[in-house]
Amino acid sequence: MRLQDSFGRAITDLRISVTDRCNYKCVYCRAGDEGASYTELPIADYLRIVRILVSLGIEKVRLTGGEPLLRTGLVEMVAELARMRTAFHADGSPLQAHEPGQPLDIALTTNGHLLESLAAPLAAAGLKRVTVSMDAVDPDTFARITRVPRSYERVLAGVHAAQEAGLGPIKINCVLLRGFNDHQIEPFADFSRRQGVIVRFIEFMPLEEPSAVEESRNWKPQTVVTMDEIMARLNTWRPSCNVPAGLVELPPRAASETAKRFTFADGVGEIGIIAPVSRPFCGHCSRIRITSDGALRTCLFSQSDHDLYGEMRRGATEQALAAYIRRVVMHKEARHHIGEPGFEKPSRNMVHIGG
């Protein structure tokens, strides 16, 4: 039977972190110190985990981190993932021995700093899609956020290389923080139209490494720029003198789609808004995560994770690992509790989970 949780949600979507090292120190994500907090597995062990998960029903694999492009062997890992085939029909019934599966949907989330040289080899290896995180389209604001000089120019070159390598349409993810980069909403809409990329605004979640020095960067409900506010701003923005103001809603592509999608009156540009805080979508969650050190997490906000790699080290067979994964997934949380009284931050921060 296809992997599912106790609420009957089919688990088809895997995010796997291949390192928790990062070459950026985005102020809302990292405290600013160097280095990783968790170990990395050999690439072969990530691939063994993915193979087992694919046999259980995973169809989409997103590589993330930390910064995944820092990981040696990533291109070879993508090539191996591209050889794997799904094990179930769309309706959840298992494929018979003579039925060929589909290639996995392989995606990558990156800050784009190293993408200029890696986009073509990754595409050749079988990568299908790339999401680039950019929190400003103004070079100074960008460098203030990443704390890396001239990072904007590097990432823009990476986006162009990814487009040339056929990885488009590129998704650009932007986390908005009030009073910090919320002046970038309209420039991002313009960027989407000019660059031919999908811009997705994401509400800031309480997943940051807490900072004693920059207290103002720690999550507070007031810092979140909500979907309603973003829509209100873009509904009054006029793309050009011959295009009237106003967002035009696009239909969802799947029930589990996390973004509400919009274009403008002339159909140029695409804006997505992902609102885990103001409009949670946990009811449709189809995801699990593997951390860089091989822990299985059933929710971004889990209070603990499950030591899958420990089971592997102790010599568990594929069947035993599959049974372990099924047991863990049965306890997947119903939903997160952001903003509710008594909310507790998860056991790891975003950079150490894999976004």
Least distance CB 170 / ligand SAM (angstroms)? 12
Residue 274 as a binder of ligand SAM (CB under 6 A): the answer is: no
DSSP string, 206-243: S-SPP-SS-GGGS--GGGB--HHHHHHHHHT--SBTTB
Residue 175 as a binder of ligand SAM (CB under 6 A): the answer is: yes
Task: Name the residue nearer to ligand SAM (CB basis): 27 or 47.
Answer: 27
Residue 115 as a binder of ligand SAM (CB under 6 A): the answer is: no
DSSP annotation of 343 reads -
Instruction: Provide the 10 A C-beta neighbour count for residue 2.
Output: 17
The residue nearest ligand SAM at its CB is 355
User: The tokens 């952001």 sit on which residue?
Assistant: 338
How many residues form the binding site for ligand SAM (CB under 6 A)? 20
Task: Name the residue nearer to ligand SAM (CB basis): 101 or 169.
Answer: 169
Near ligand SAM in 133-172, by CB under 6 A: 133
Q: Nearest Cα to 57, choosing from 84, 24, 79, 33?
A: 84
Task: Name the residue nearer to ligand SAM (CB basis): 21 or 86.
Answer: 21
Which residue type, as a one-letter code, is found at position 265? A
Residue 350 as a binder of ligand SAM (CB under 6 A): the answer is: yes
Least distance CB 211 / ligand SAM (angstroms)? 12
For the window 45-74, what string marks contact with ligand SAM as x by the rule CB under 6 A? -------------------xx-x-------
Contacts of 345 (CB under 8 A, 6+ apart): 206, 207
What dihedral do alpha carbons 136, 138, 144, 145 form, nearest 10°?
10
Q: Segment contacting ligand SAM (CB under 6 A): 87-95, 104-112, 155-163, 325-333?
A: 104-112
Task: Name the residue nearer to ligand SAM (CB basis): 65 or 294.
Answer: 65
Least distance CB 291 / ligand SAM (angstroms)? 12
**Residue pair 209/29 in contact by the 8 Å Cβ criterion:** yes
As beta bridge partners, residue 271 has 199, 262
Contacts of 223 (CB under 8 A, 6+ apart): 177, 178, 179, 204
Near ligand SAM in 195-254, by CB under 6 A: 202, 204-205, 207-208
Query: What is the C-alpha to C-alpha distance for residues 15 and 355, in angstroms, rounded to an integer?
Result: 8
Query: What is the C-alpha to C-alpha distance for residues 191 and 189, in angstroms, rounded to an integer?
Result: 5
Residue 286 as a binder of ligand SAM (CB under 6 A): the answer is: no
Q: Segment contacting ligand SAM (CB under 6 A): 8-16, 22-30, 31-39, 290-298?
A: 22-30
Chosen residue from 12, 109, 151, 195 binding ligand SAM by CB under 6 A: 109
Instruction: Provide the 10 A C-beta neighbour count for residue 179.
Output: 10
Q: Return residues touching ligand SAM (CB under 6 A).
A: 22, 28-29, 64-65, 67, 109-111, 133, 173, 175, 202, 204-205, 207-208, 350-351, 355
